[in-house]
Chain A
């Protein structure tokens, strides 16, 4: 996913002279081909994220479309005020390509794990937040970033994630993709939780439970219409995210449902990381599993919740 997104920056640069790549201190050879073809538009500016965001704002004010790239935690925590004031307040078309969203950097510990990035980015007015699920979807997303108004936060996974997105579904920033029709439950996913949701849906199907999946690659602006459509007739809405429980996809979905439905809320299950820093290392997969976000654990949690909702909640009716 990461290589694809990077290569897309080069591809976009060949088409449009407004496109700049701005890295802080990325891995050796990052976008080498672009640096050779467009040396003036391939900028490496040092470990100075606050400055890089401000500089990108200045470049965007003059008509450039900068693609700023570094590790997700440094692109969000370090320079939050610059992102808020220089990018969002001025509503400038700077693209933040965040490597290692979620637990990708599991072995490197909590300084490198972006587990609250969705919350803090989506809290900012004018910011768009997108979490593609695989390389193909990242490519489709990048195609749309050239002319999108305002800043975009792009949360990238590790790379090598199984490709599950499909070209026929198309891609539009802000438009969710229905991957499986809603049944007893509908899972709402973002980023690489889609792969886990698909596997969990198969496990649930084996138990006779029909599980739908709505892939919410864009967390902000949230596709409320698709969400309301997807939850019709289901008994349970389950959100899946590689993120702390505060402020991420689950919060966004809950907020939208409260705003739209008021009192007639569906039974809801929010599956996320716990509200704490991760002090275990291992791998992204092992940490997801440890916190109940493997396909097995997701299926089990949903099964339990459905049993509970059967006794505690009325079934949702079509609206």
Chain B
């Protein structure tokens, strides 16, 4: 019997502050406009992306290609609504763009594209690519003696892909302590529970055995995320893996831990009412 992490339990009961609710309203307004979107995977990510973009990344929305910037790659590209909300809120592009999500002339597609969306470092959507790209970025920083850091956000279902573990070996080989992998461990992939589809446990031990310094936390605890992300590398000479225990659909009771909300088409009136009750009017 696998022990349930106390962080996972904390993630379930963790309350959200006004900024987290506001970001959820942005996400859900995009879904309402487009009539589609990966709701669950975005809502589990929000605090991870929020803390990165609010408190950790050295970035300038007015100069998104600044060579000195920290790099962040959303490897689980289907969680892009969370990223778009943060990028818009931080001024990389106007908030009004969020209304056009998935529209014919929008810069915001169902997966993020480099060159289309200011602030997006790499086109993702096909899973299992981001960590390898991150290894390349981090290795380039090492070779060029630059101080930027590289953060890669991965889904738990995504790490079914063998290429992720190839990348993990590569990161450890090079001792890339300027590379951080954040795993959105919401324990529910498209079909159902990760434990059913392809069990990942013991997940922390896996990353540790691949040569990473591993941290585990409640991925909705903004304070804990800040504390851990401000202390990277966790161990000098090692890449860092932060296993963020989260809840898919967090903050929206009707969607929480509900595989039917992985990708949502059209929101019904009763669902819109439920969203208003959960996150406020939007």
In contact, A58 and B123 (Cβ under 8 angstroms) = no
Which A residues lie within 8 Å of B19 (CB)?
Answer: none
Q: Mind listing 13 A-B residue pairs with CB under 8 Å?
A: A45-B173, A48-B167, A48-B170, A51-B132, A51-B170, A54-B132, A54-B136, A58-B137, A59-B137, A61-B133, A62-B136, A64-B140, A90-B123
In contact, B133 and A57 (Cβ under 8 angstroms) = yes
Report if A31 contacts B (CB, 8 A).
no
Chain A residue at minimum C-beta to C-beta distance from B133: A58
Q: How far is the CA of A265 from the CA of B124 in the complex (A)?
A: 43
Which A residues lie within 8 Å of B4 (CB)?
Answer: none
Closest Cβ of chain A to B277, distance in Å, is 40
In contact, A50 and B132 (Cβ under 8 angstroms) = yes
Which B residues lie within 8 Å of A55 (CB)?
Answer: 132-133, 135-136, 139, 167, 170
Q: Quick one: given A51-B163, A82-B163, A85-B126, are A58 and B132 in contact (CB under 8 Å)? A: yes
Q: Quick one: given A54-B129, A81-B126, A82-B132, are A62 and B137 in contact (CB under 8 Å)? A: yes
Chain A residue at minimum C-beta to C-beta distance from B139: A59
Chain A residue at minimum C-beta to C-beta distance from B115: A90
Which B residues lie within 8 Å of A90 (CB)?
Answer: 114-115, 122-123
Report if B40 contacts A (CB, 8 A).
no
In contact, A50 and B163 (Cβ under 8 angstroms) = yes
Report if A40 contacts B (CB, 8 A).
yes
Report if A46 contacts B (CB, 8 A).
yes
Chain B: number of interface residues, binned into ranges:
20 to 34
Closest Cβ of chain B to A107, distance in Å, is 29
Report if B143 contacts A (CB, 8 A).
yes
Which B residues lie within 8 Å of A41 (CB)?
Answer: 143
* CB contact between B136 and one of A46, A50, A56 (< 8 Å): that residue: A56
Q: How far is the CA of A14 from the CA of B135 in the complex (A)?
A: 25
In contact, A50 and B166 (Cβ under 8 angstroms) = yes
Which A residues lie within 8 Å of B126 (CB)?
Answer: 81, 85
Q: How far is the CA of A263 from the CA of B137 in the complex (A)?
A: 51
- Scan residues 44-77 of chain A and give those whose CB is less than 8 A from a CB of chain B: 45-46, 48, 50-64
Q: How far is the CA of A46 from the CA of B172 in the complex (A)?
A: 13
Tell me what chain A mostly uses at the interface: helix, strand, loop, or mixed.
helix
The residue in B125, B144, B170 that gathers the most chain A C-beta atoms within 10 A of its C-beta is B170
Which B residues lie within 8 Å of A40 (CB)?
Answer: 143
In contact, B122 and A51 (Cβ under 8 angstroms) = no
Report if B128 contacts A (CB, 8 A).
yes
Which B residues lie within 8 Å of A303 (CB)?
Answer: none
Closest Cβ of chain A to B118, distance in Å, is 16
* Contact bitstring A174-199, B, C-beta under 8 A = 1, else 0: 00000000000000000000000000
Closest Cβ of chain B to A244, distance in Å, is 26
Report if A296 contacts B (CB, 8 A).
no
Which B residues lie within 8 Å of A50 (CB)?
Answer: 128, 132, 162-163, 166
Which B residues lie within 8 Å of A58 (CB)?
Answer: 132-140
In contact, A54 and B169 (Cβ under 8 angstroms) = no
Q: How far is the CA of A40 from the CA of B141 in the complex (A)?
A: 13
Closest Cβ of chain B to A241, distance in Å, is 30
Report if A86 contacts B (CB, 8 A).
yes
Report if A124 contacts B (CB, 8 A).
no
In contact, B169 and A85 (Cβ under 8 angstroms) = no
| Known A50-B162, A61-B133, A62-B141; 4 more pairs at CB < 8 Å | A54-B136, A55-B132, A81-B126, A90-B114
The residue in B115, B122, B123, B173 that gathers the most chain A C-beta atoms within 10 A of its C-beta is B122
In contact, A86 and B129 (Cβ under 8 angstroms) = yes
Report if A89 contacts B (CB, 8 A).
yes
In contact, A53 and B169 (Cβ under 8 angstroms) = no
Q: How far is the CA of A52 from the CA of B166 in the complex (A)?
A: 9
In contact, B140 and A51 (Cβ under 8 angstroms) = no
Closest Cβ of chain A to B194, distance in Å, is 21
Q: How far is the CA of A53 from the CA of B163 in the complex (A)?
A: 10
* Contact bitstring A73-106, B, C-beta under 8 A = 1, else 0: 0000000011001100110000000000000000
Closest Cβ of chain B to A126, distance in Å, is 12
Which A residues lie within 8 Å of B121 (CB)?
Answer: 61
Which B residues lie within 8 Å of A64 (CB)?
Answer: 140, 143
Q: How far is the CA of A198 from the CA of B167 in the complex (A)?
A: 46
Which A residues lie within 8 Å of B128 (CB)?
Answer: 50
The residue in B115, B122, B132 that gathers the most chain A C-beta atoms within 10 A of its C-beta is B132
Q: How far is the CA of A53 from the CA of B169 in the complex (A)?
A: 15
Q: Quick one: given A63-B140, A82-B129, are A54 and B135 in contact (CB under 8 Å)? A: yes
Chain A residue at minimum C-beta to C-beta distance from B124: A85
In contact, B133 and A54 (Cβ under 8 angstroms) = yes
In contact, A62 and B133 (Cβ under 8 angstroms) = no
